[in-house]
């Protein structure tokens, strides 16, 4: 502030006229070449009014006493904050002594600096004001950059979410129609081609899922839904499903479950299964012709909670020591030639898995030796519960007959706007004898239902449709007294979407890409239940 620079506009807020005079004198004497213009207030309330009304010329810095009547210093600082929770002007506070807690509190509230009343020196005060103005500007720019980065991150997450839905919807048709063609007795050559299409489609869906999960984690959009779950069933069933992949890779896959592993716990089954699938898939992928052992047990805990631990042990190629921590970073893979060059992958799975386990208040680590194999281990605290609390146990009923018998002749009202998915759903349901009526949005769904009372046994609807979506249509059907089973389809059945569907009145929810057998079993179960209610 030298030479021909404009005068600094300083607002003094202090109920003591002597202190205000002392500050004015110290600033003017500190550098005679400077020019100052002062505005004064005797309390914080008056000071706030001046701050809000004075824009031409603007106030460069506020010097405020901490102890005043009618809005003191801390209250003034809180009131001066904008929408970004940051003071709109540079503030220097005056305190009674350097040992006072006031100075620390003021700095936490956003003040740039403080000066004690017994050390208002001309050679110091003008520099304190200059530094406060400069620091406020730098922090303001930093805060604006942070807000811009957060907005960009949210925009990126929204974009990835939209892309995810736009990819999953056509992949539902691609994978589903492959299954339909595979059931129509193709030649060996045709069957191999269809299997290749299906495998590459599944890989694309995995990539989309990983990108969506990472995006949600970065944006803080992932929540942990702790509910009663069947723990032993989850691991035994998942390992059973992984046997097909292990056999294709000529890998021996085994499960060892300790006797003290509880039957049921309260935790997030979706996230636990996701982490375990990722670790087991990696172990199989990097252990061709070798073995993978899964060990599940419990550890002693200081609290009353049970601590579960899971180890996935492979005898594959191993990981170099220098890559151990790198592999938990997004888009990073081990640079070991035997690992990186032999298989594909996005390098997202481990980064996502570690973050999910940390959200479960646990930890995920790895030990490895090149040429000997790796052990990925995770542990997390959980609450043991009675298996009867698990919703799937309460609601699960074995089908009394085959799917084909239960669905034969059932009339199903289906709402789906995508032509390829319409064809897939119709072919899948008609293949077991269902009579399908297809509509394209929520409005048509409501019109058709009301125009045909008593005709349908169940309703199947997509969530995202033009005009009126599936959730709004479901809610309106329930408000109109509809008691039919309503199964909704979505590209994201985790967390908020599932809760919204349940709140709207959905009976069940299925995730895209649609699994043919899962769809038929769900529809058969609900149609059977509907039939039992009608006959009772």
pLDDT of residue 349: 86
Mean pLDDT of 314-332: 84
pLDDT higher than threshold 80 for residue 333: no
pLDDT higher than threshold 60 for residue 343: no
Q: Return the sign of the alpha-carbon dihedral for residues 352, 357, 359, 362.
A: negative
What is the 3-class SS of 412-445, one letter each residue?
EEEECCCHHHHHHHHHHHHCCCCEEEEECCHHHH
pLDDT higher than threshold 50 for residue 342: no
C-alpha separations of 333 from 202, 209, 286, 328 in Å: 21, 18, 12, 8
Least confident range from 114-128, 131-145, 272-286, 380-394: namely 380-394
pTM of the model: 0.61
pLDDT higher than threshold 50 for residue 2: no
User: Could you write out the DSSP letters of every residue in 190-203?
Assistant: HHHHHHHHHHHHHH
Mean pLDDT of 112-138: 89
Task: Return the structure tokens found at 517.
Answer: 């057998």
Q: What is the mean pLDDT of the chain?
A: 85
Cα separation of 37 and 75, whole Å? 25
Task: Please report which confidence band the pLDDT of residue 144 belongs to, taking 50, 70 and 90 as the band edges.
Answer: confident
Cα separation of 61 and 80, whole Å? 13
pLDDT of residue 99: 55
DSSP H helical segments within 249-376, as ranges?
269-285, 337-340, 349-359
Number of H helices, E strands in the chain: 17, 17
Mean pLDDT of 431-446: 96
Mean pLDDT of 48-55: 84
pLDDT of residue 1: 42
Whether omega for the bond prior to residue 104 falls within 30 degrees of 0, making it cis, is no
Q: Return the sign of the alpha-carbon dihedral for residues 98, 102, 107, 111.
A: negative
pLDDT of residue 25: 92
pLDDT higher than threshold 60 for residue 18: yes
Cα separation of 396 and 402, whole Å? 16
Task: Please report which confidence band the pLDDT of residue 337 belongs to, taking 50, 70 and 90 as the band edges.
Answer: very low
CB proximity list for 186: less than 8 A, separation 6 or greater = 194
CB 456 within 8 A of CB 483: no
Question: Among the ranges 214-223, 399-408, 501-510, which has the highest mean pLDDT value?
Answer: 501-510
Phi and psi (nearest 5°) for 54? -95, 110
Helix, strand, coil % over all residues of the chain, rounded to 5: 50, 20, 30
Residue with tokens 């691609």: 174
CB proximity list for 525: less than 8 A, separation 6 or greater = 397, 399
Query: Could you tell me what percent of the chain has a pLDDT over 70?
Result: 89
Task: Return the structure tokens found at 367.
Answer: 């030990």
Cα dihedral 185, 190, 196, 199, rounded to 10, equals -10
Mean pLDDT of 65-90: 81
H or E segment and range at residue 133: helix 122-182
Higher pLDDT: 191 or 528? It is 191
């Amino acid at each position: 502030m030298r030479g021909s620079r404009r005068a600094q506009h300083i607002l003094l807020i202090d109920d003591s006229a002597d202190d205000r005079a002392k500050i004015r004198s110290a600033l003017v004497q500190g550098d005679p070449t400077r020019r100052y213009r002062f505005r004064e207030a005797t309390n914080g309330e008056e000071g706030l009014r001046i701050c809000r009304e004075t824009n031409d010329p603007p106030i460069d810095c506020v010097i405020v006493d901490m102890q005043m009547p009618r809005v003191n210093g801390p209250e003034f600082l809180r009131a001066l904050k904008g929408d970004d929770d940051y003071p709109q002007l540079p503030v220097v506070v005056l305190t009674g002594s350097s040992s006072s807690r006031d100075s620390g509190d003021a700095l936490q509230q956003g003040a740039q600096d403080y000066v004690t009343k017994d050390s208002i020196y001309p050679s110091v005060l003008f520099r304190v004001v200059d530094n406060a103005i400069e620091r406020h500007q730098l922090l303001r720019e930093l805060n604006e950059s942070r807000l811009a980065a957060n907005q960009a991150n949210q925009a990126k997450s929204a974009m990835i979410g939209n892309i995810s839905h736009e990819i999953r919807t056509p992949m539902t048709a691609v994978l589903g129609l492959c299954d339909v063609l595979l059931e129509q007795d193709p030649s060996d050559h045709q069957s191999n081609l269809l299997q290749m299409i299906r495998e590459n489609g599944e890989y694309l869906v995995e990539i989309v899922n990983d990108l969506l999960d990472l995006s949600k984690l970065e944006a803080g959009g992932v929540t942990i839904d702790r509910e009663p779950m069947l723990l032993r069933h989850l691991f035994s069933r998942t390992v059973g499903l992984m046997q097909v992949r292990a056999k294709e890779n000529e890998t021996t896959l085994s499960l060892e479950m300790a006797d003290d592993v509880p039957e049921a716990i309260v935790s997030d089954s979706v996230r636990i299964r996701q982490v375990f699938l990722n670790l087991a898939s990696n172990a199989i992928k990097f252990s061709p012709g070798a073995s993978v052992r899964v060990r599940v047990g419990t550890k002693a805990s200081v609290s009353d909670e049970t601590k579960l631990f899971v180890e996935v042990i492979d005898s594959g190629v191993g990981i170099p020591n220098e890559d151990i921590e790198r592999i938990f970073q997004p888009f990073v893979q081990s640079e070991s030639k035997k690992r990186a060059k032999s298989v594909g992958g996005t390098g997202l799975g481990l980064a996502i898995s570690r973050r999910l386990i940390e959200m479960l208040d646990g930890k995920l680590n790895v030990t490895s030796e090149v040429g000997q194999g790796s052990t990925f281990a995770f542990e997390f605290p959980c609450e043991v519960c009675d298996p009867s609390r698990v919703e799937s146990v309460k609601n699960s009923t074995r089908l009394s007959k085959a799917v084909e018998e239960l669905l034969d002749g059932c009339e199903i009202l289906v709402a789906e706007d995508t032509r390829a998915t319409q064809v897939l759903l119709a072919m899948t349901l008609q293949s077991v004898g269902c009579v399908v009526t297809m509509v394209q949005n929520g409005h048509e769904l409501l019109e058709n239902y009301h125009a045909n009372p008593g005709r349908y046994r169940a309703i199947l609807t997509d969530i995202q449709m033009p005009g009126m979506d599936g959730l709004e249509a479901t809610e309106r059907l329930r408000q109109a007294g509809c008691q039919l089973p309503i199964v909704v389809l979505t590209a994201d059945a985790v967390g908020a979407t599932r809760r919204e569907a349940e709140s709207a009145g959905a009976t069940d929810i299925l995730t895209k890409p649609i699994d043919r057998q899962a769809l038929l079993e769900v529809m058969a179960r609900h149609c059977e239940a509907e039939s039992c209610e009608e006959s009772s």
